Structure 1
Amino acid sequence: MTASVVLVADDDAGIRTVITHALERAGFEVRTTANAATLWHWISDGQGDVVITDVIMPDENGLDLIPRIRKIRPELRVIAMSAQSTLLTAVKATERGAFEYLPKPFDLNELTAVVRRALEAPRVAAIAPVEAEPEEQLPLIGRSAAMQEIYRTLARLMGTDLTVMITGESGTGKELVARALHDYGKRRSGPFVAINMAAIPRELIESELFGHEKGAFTGATHRSSGRFEQAEGGTLFLDEIGDMPPEAQTRLLRVLQEGEYTTVGGRAAIRTNVRIIAATHHDLRQLIRQGLFREDLYFRLNVVPIRLPPLRERSGDIPELVRHFMSRAGTEGLPSKMLDAAAMEKLKSYRWPGNIRELENLVRRLAALYSEEVIGIEIIEAELADATAPVAEAEDNGLAQSVERHIRAFFGAHGGALPAPGLFDRVVREVERPLITLTLEATRGNQIKAAEVLGLNRNTLRKKIRELSIAVVRGGGRE
């Protein structure tokens, strides 16, 4: 049986040698070249079963070859590789018809596996349309292994309408990922609409999402469109989905199942055509176990999960992020600054509880407040000491001081930037839920006694239990 022929184009002789040895050990025949012209000559002559090409070569960009290859030999699979491992590179490779994109450095076993998949994949003669080239800007920053996997995942999703669930700590860039999926996807010409569940009073979320009719509730003096209607034909980003109340969860499930919804106070079903992207920093499986999130809704939303790593897990990206934020500060009129090596190492060793958002705000402070052109470790140590001081262990001198420490830590994690609106309701809700839950546990689910202990009217307590989705325990069971 004749061995499959792999054509390899890369101007780095060392890389050509390593790839050749790996593929020949796997049983393939390999032909290599240092330029695009020779590769194109081989392909035009009908040679090769799979192509591996670098993106940057002396005579031509490897990505520009792919549409031409697909035009004359649509069955030939092309694997693109690049040291310029950004989201835009991955997107371009996918849009132009590459079978797979591999960032350098790559694992040779993975490369061999990709070549085998390319040979075994069904051959299609149809030529995919080449999309317009995206603008040269970077929606996401970082070249760490974790970010490379995210870039590859996003590139594969650009041509689909699959529902995506983005998880990660606050400040990791979940909305940036949602924006990238929209801006480089098939719905880019449609609207991108975002709604943060944690920033809206729970009783208003259904109206915000689905709209309401005139007279639907007190204060509804006219018909109002909801976010689904505003996002028609585009993308709806549901941020902090874990804070969605049960009633809204039920309505959202119907949209995902049936593709339609009704406004608050309305009767006619409205068909909808939006792509849903959800995000949360909560552990939704834990919320499911607590009875706070619908399991069937979770599975409808979690079609494609994407986990964003916290900044402490990708500290190698910090220098590039700092340069990016410094450059952005320069465009806003702030003076240009640099960090010396010791200062940069200090940033890389910090835990970053506020993640990328905290780093960005720190960089803006450095640019705005310090006269030094080169920022040293002393300044960084002082800044980071101020950031960590509010969360240091302290003697518990009462509930008020404990709450104050937590709120200070919350603002510290945002690096001085203001959080999303709705902070008062959010803090009150965070205090109310454990207060009522523990009181109900102490009274073994007796709501009359719990209302007395709390000093609440019984009907008020019932309303709070319903609004906060608290499971009531009676004699060891749950209501």
Structure 2
Amino acid sequence: MPEVMLVEDDADLRLAAAETLELAGFRVHAFDAAAPALDVLVADFPGVILSDLRMPGLSGLDFLDRAREIAPDVPFILITAHGDVPAAIRAMRGGAHDFLEKPCAPELMLDVLKRAQAMRDLHLENTRLRQIRIEDRLIGRSAAMRDLRDKLRALARLQLDLLISGETGTGKELVARVLHDLSPRCDGPFVAVNCGALAETDVDRELFGTSDSPGLIARAAGGTLYLDELESMPDGLQVRLLRVVEAREITPLGAGPRPVDIRILGSVKRPPESLTAESRLRADLFHRFHATLPLPPLREREEDAAMLVTHFAAEAAARHNLPKPHIDSSLRRRIAYHDWPGNVREARNLAERLVIGLDTSFPQPGSAPGATDQLAGMSYDAAMEGFEARLLRFALIQTGGRKTEAAALLGIPRKRLYLRLRHHDML
């Protein structure tokens, strides 16, 4: 429920304003002077302040100064008489969010307060996200995840355009949101654009907007624009994006060029160098990004898999109001040795099935959906390496991790099994 701290010394005006606000769904905290309001004001007050300018004791301007010391992020709106407008304008320069002239139409008052409340809600949500430790959002104790978190902490505060690369399900959009939430732009919008879903017939209007309707790029002003699956964008549109990345300028339909203040994050499913070699990602666009952040697939951080499944299972159990499932040693072994073609998204889906009692079996090597597609573009040696790794994992799962039995199942000497396991970093 939206909240407002109403400070007005005129009892009739205070009562009328409070009734109007309560009927509109606001929780009203009404005061007849600034001093008692200051006594209860705290920095995390979730609403807005609406105060008269001229009051006995502390004036509205004095109240503004004190309120900004206690709660600098709470929007402060002044109510002024007609002759006090210059003072209200000075107050806005001093940090007031807006001002209203008496007599004020209820519709105008409500509109101003609702917009101020929306701004306050956004600030509080961004603050909440920033306070969530990065370790609780990007889960894992592997060296790869520790290194990724360190890089994000260092890069988030810099005004750099970054390209995030990683397989489907590795968490590219989550990484982009973390970069935004840890950046100085955290109070601005985060606008995600699925480049693969843009309709070519209406892409100009959708992305660049028109003279009277902002597009997705303009809506990210003051914040972050995230371009997902950049390689799926048509070549002609990639050319138009060059200007946006290079000059921070857009040209809406029916209008001239306009500057836009944004940070740009992009993502691709494969290493960008291979995409440029295949002409799926323009080299001149790729090189306009300052750096590339590769995300490790889950199969390369096996020690994180069980931790992720446990975490997602606890979330799913709370969401469905069901008990947390027990993950026994047999399931833990299968989790550890599974190849995870769907990465973190697959781990989340497994946890969901585990909680609601659906099948939690894993596909055998080579039988996973899309396994043939994963071989596309791979060399013979790379394909054979991948097949051997899956075969070794399957043997270990079947034998409960007992290596002597796994060697017998595969029909190879135990020493050779150890050598191949060491080769694949599975020991």
In structure 2, do the counterparts of structure 1 residues 284 and 207 end up closer, same or farther at CA, with 3 Å as the change threshold? farther
Q: CA deviation at 1:191?
A: 0.6
Output the CA distance in 2 between the equivalents of 1:389 and 1:150. 28
Q: CA deviation at 1:172?
A: 0.2
- Specify the alignment match of 2:340 in structure 1: 352
Could you tell me the percent identity over the aligned residues? Answer: 39
- Specify the alignment match of 2:354 in structure 1: 366
Q: CA deviation at 1:228?
A: 1.0
Match of 2:244, as an amino acid?
Answer: V
Q: CA deviation at 1:328?
A: 0.7
In structure 2, do the counterparts of structure 1 residues 254 and 324 end up closer, same or farther at CA, with 3 Å as the change threshold? same
Alignment of 1:109-258 (within 5 A): 134-137=130-133, 138-213=136-211, 223-258=212-247
User: Which SS does the other structure have where 2:281 is aligned?
Assistant: coil
Match of 1:206, as an amino acid?
Answer: D
Alignment coverage as a number of residue pairs? 243
- Specify the alignment match of 1:307 in structure 2: 294
Q: CA deviation at 1:283?
A: 3.7
Q: CA deviation at 1:135?
A: 2.0
User: Is the contact made by 2:129 and 2:181 (CA closer than 8 Å) also made in structure 1?
Assistant: no
In structure 2, do the counterparts of structure 1 residues 391 and 153 end up closer, same or farther at CA, with 3 Å as the change threshold? closer
Q: CA deviation at 1:392?
A: 7.1
Output the CA distance in 1 between the equivalents of 2:370 and 2:218. 42
Q: CA deviation at 1:390?
A: 4.6
Output the CA distance in 2 between the equivalents of 1:259 and 1:356. 34
In structure 2, do the counterparts of structure 1 residues 335 and 387 end up closer, same or farther at CA, with 3 Å as the change threshold? farther
Q: CA deviation at 1:132?
A: 9.9
Q: CA deviation at 1:202?
A: 3.2
Q: CA deviation at 1:353?
A: 1.0
Match of 2:164, as an amino acid?
Answer: I
Output the CA distance in 2 between the equivalents of 1:358 and 1:317. 13
Q: CA deviation at 1:294?
A: 2.0
Match of 1:352, as an amino acid?
Answer: W
Output the CA distance in 1 between the equivalents of 2:131 and 2:344. 23
TM-score for both structures, normalised by structure 1: 0.48
Q: Does 1:317 align with 2:304?
A: yes
User: Is the contact made by 1:197 and 1:205 (CA closer than 8 Å) also made in structure 2?
Assistant: no
User: Is the contact made by 1:202 and 1:244 (CA closer than 8 Å) also made in structure 2?
Assistant: no
Q: CA deviation at 1:387?
A: 11
- Give the aligned CA root-mean-square deviation in angstroms: 2.4
Instruction: Find the partner of 1:281 among 247, 250, 269.
Output: 269
Most deviating of 146-155 and 335-344: 335-344
1:299-343 C-alpha deviation (Å, 9 max, x unpaired) = 002x12110011100111012111210111122023310211121
Output the CA distance in 1 between the equivalents of 2:168 and 2:231. 13
Q: CA deviation at 1:356?
A: 0.6
Q: CA deviation at 1:133?
A: 9.9
User: Which SS does the other structure have where 2:131 is aligned?
Assistant: coil
Larger Rg: 2
Most deviating of 236-245 and 280-289: 280-289
1:101-143 C-alpha deviation (Å, 9 max, x unpaired) = xxxxxxxxxxxxxxxxxxxxxxxxxxxxxx9994235221111
Unaligned runs of 5+ in 1: 1-130, 214-222, 371-378, 394-479
Output the CA distance in 1 between the equivalents of 2:249 and 2:313. 45
Q: CA deviation at 1:281?
A: 0.2
1:412-433 C-alpha deviation (Å, 9 max, x unpaired) = xxxxxxxxxxxxxxxxxxxxxx
Q: CA deviation at 1:284?
A: 3.0
Most deviating of 156-165 and 131-140: 131-140
Unaligned runs of 5+ in 2: 1-126, 373-427
1:147-199 C-alpha deviation (Å, 9 max, x unpaired) = 11111100101211101110000000000100000111111100101011112
TM-score for both structures, normalised by structure 2: 0.53
In structure 2, do the counterparts of structure 1 residues 386 and 208 end up closer, same or farther at CA, with 3 Å as the change threshold? farther
User: Which SS does the other structure have where 1:339 is aligned?
Assistant: coil
Q: CA deviation at 1:385?
A: 5.4
User: Is the contact made by 1:236 and 1:277 (CA closer than 8 Å) also made in structure 2?
Assistant: yes
User: Which SS does the other structure have where 1:252 is aligned?
Assistant: helix
In structure 2, do the counterparts of structure 1 residues 365 and 229 end up closer, same or farther at CA, with 3 Å as the change threshold? same
